[in-house]
Each structure stands twice: as structure tokens, then as C-alpha cells.
Amino acid sequence: MLRKETSFLSLGLVVGALLTATCFVFIQRQQISGGARTVLKLGHALDQSHPVHAGMEFMARRLAEISDGAMEIQIFPNGQLGSEPETVEQLQRGALAMVKTSAAAMEGFVPEMAVFGLPYLFRDNDHYWNVLNGPIGQELLAAGASVGIHGLCYYDSGSRSFYTIDGPILTPDDVRGEKIRTLQSRMAMDLISTLQGAPTPIPWGELYTALQQRMVDGAENNPPSFLSSRHYEVAKHYSLDEHTRIPDIVIFSQTIWDSLSPQQQAWVEQAAAESVAFQRILWAEKTAEALTEVEAAGVTIYRPDKAPFVAATAPLYEQFKDTAIGHVAARIREVK
């Protein structure tokens, strides 16, 4: 008898939970359709002092203003909701509305995004933004729709350069045999391998300890990230070879995006566009400040000749020549 009662009780709890969940969804939909506030959760791995985080805060403020309080973005920094790949997977399931991720971390979801990992792809700043704001950049943003990802906008994340513990990287030969932390990206690892180094993918939040404990000999990133992460406390040699320029991307759950009204979508797009303009200006300012600050903290900054690095990494272009990535790269190089 006790077994039967327990079974009925368990069944009742399950049914009750399902009904509660269903009612919760219904109430949420009623609230949204009734004009109540829509809350969007945004996860990312950077700290609050980073200029990319400041760009997202600007977007959140503008969305609240534009929508007259009807929409809110709640930002969860510092990897609180997981690593970049983990948050993207949550977003695909509709468990998270928005994610800021590096384009490199998108390779596993949108393979064409790997094109940004090709070294020395962009001639200069104007070429870079002409590509991102033009047809190619917009096509790449839209390419994730089939896997549940709606690309919203690009943020500037500058150029990636090497920083190391024992000595500077001034020529491609200086990478040989060095354990270099990379993004969790096949293209990023292939770049280090092409220079005969040992690529070592480590989550961003674990890199300070990895440098401190000499698990790696160095890493590569942009000046604001080098500063905000405090990696300069361990790695005192910063070589501005500027081998890649990989944008950050704000993406949206396609499921949640499709559930928004056209008016709500327009508000989000306007807030995102305005935040991009704000973040680009802030990025330039913070890059200059970061270089000044790390140098004052005892870091030696080097500006090596890039020509040998361009030549040494050319095999990567041959490797992808007849692939979809190679075709996108060729189109990028044709952009004025």
C-alpha cells in the first residue's frame, strides 16, 4: 500500500511541476504581450573593467531608454554563466538570450567565422570595418541562423600580439618550441603550430594561474585584455606583431529573437548599433591607455618587423585556399 501511495505521490509531484512550468511560461507570455518588462540575460567571460563590457553596459542603458523601460538587459560578466562555448550552447537551447563571444569561439558553430583567425588578413583599420559593416560581415553574422544563433553586432577587440615571460618574440623563430596559450579555436592553434610553437588552449579565466605556474611560456591578446587580466604582472615582454584581428560578437538566441515583436527587435538593433559606435571610440582610447599603463608597470613593449611573420604564416592561406574559408578570405582581400 505504501509503495502505491508513494508512486501516486511521485506522479502527482511530477504532474504538478509540469503544470507549474507550463503556467510560468504562459504567465510570462501574458506579461510580455501585456506590455510588461522583457528581461534579456547576457553572459560573457570578461571582467567589468574591460571596454567591451562597457560597450554592453551602454547597450543595456540605451535599450532601457529607447524602450521606455519595457526591455532590460541583465549582464553576467566574468564567466559566471560558463565559458564562451558553454554560453553559446545555452543560447542555442534558448536558456540564455544573449552572449558576447570572440569570433574565434564561434568556429565550432559557424565554421566560416574561422576566417578571422587568418593572420594579417586586414590591411588597416578602415579595411577591417569596411568588411565587418559590409556584405561579408553581415553574411557572417547571419550564418548562424540555421543553428539557432542570431548575430547582432561586432565589437572592436583590436589586434592580438604575443606576450611572454622569459624573453620577447621578435621573429617567427622566437615562437619555435614555446608553449603559447591560444583561444579554443582550431585556427588559432594552427597559427602557433605553423610558427612551430606548441599551442595550448586554456580558458581565459584560468590563464593568469597558468602563466604564474609556468604551464605556458606566454599568450597572445590585445592591450586592454593584457591590462585588465593583470597578465602583465607575470609576462613582462609584449611584442606588438599584431598577427590577427578577431572581432568580438554579440549574438542572440534565434528562438528568443523570433519571439520578440518587430518593435522590440528594432529597439534591440538600435541599442546595439549605438553601442558599437560608442565602443569603437572607447576601444581606441583604452588601447592607448593600456600600453602606457603596462609599460609603467615594468613591461617592455616591442614593435617587431611584421614582414617575416607574414611570410612565415603564408602556408595557412595555402592550406585553406580551396575551402569555404579560403573563398571568404579572398573576398575580404578584394574589399577596398
pLDDT in tens, 146-188: 999 999 999 999 999 999 999 999 999 999 999 999 988 999 9
Residue 192, C-beta contacts closer than 8 angstroms, at least 6 positions apart: 175, 180, 182, 198, 199
* pLDDT at res. 184: 84
* Burial (0-12, 13-18, 19+ Cβ within 10 Å), 279: buried
- Residue 161: beta bridge partners? 221
Mean pLDDT to the nearest integer, 196-205: 94
* pLDDT at res. 16: 39
With a cut of 80, say whether residue 314 has pLDDT above it: yes
* pLDDT at res. 35: 58
179 DSSP 8-state letter: E
Q: Which three cell numbers stand for residue 20?
A: 507549474
* Contact status, residue 55 vs residue 275, Cβ threshold 8 Å: yes
Note whether 36-158+247-287 and 160-245+296-334 share their fold: yes
Task: Please tell me the class of the 36-158+247-287 domain.
Answer: alpha beta
Per residue in 68-109, pLDDT (tens digit) is: 999 999 999 999 999 888 999 999 999 999 999 999 999 989
**What is the DSSP code string of 41-75?**
EEE-SS-TTSHHHHHHHHHHHHHHHHTTTSEEEEE
* Contact status, residue 113 vs residue 107, Cβ threshold 8 Å: yes
CATH fourth-level superfamily of 160-245+296-334: Bacterial extracellular solute-binding protein, family 7 (3.40.190.170)
pTM value is: 0.85
With a cut of 60, say whether residue 245 has pLDDT above it: yes
* Contact status, residue 241 vs residue 160, Cβ threshold 8 Å: no
pLDDT above 90 covers a percentage of the chain that reads 85
Mean pLDDT of the chain: 90
Domain ranges, ordered by start, for the chain: 36-158+247-287, 160-245+296-334
Q: Please name the residue that has the C-alpha cell 553576467.
A: 76
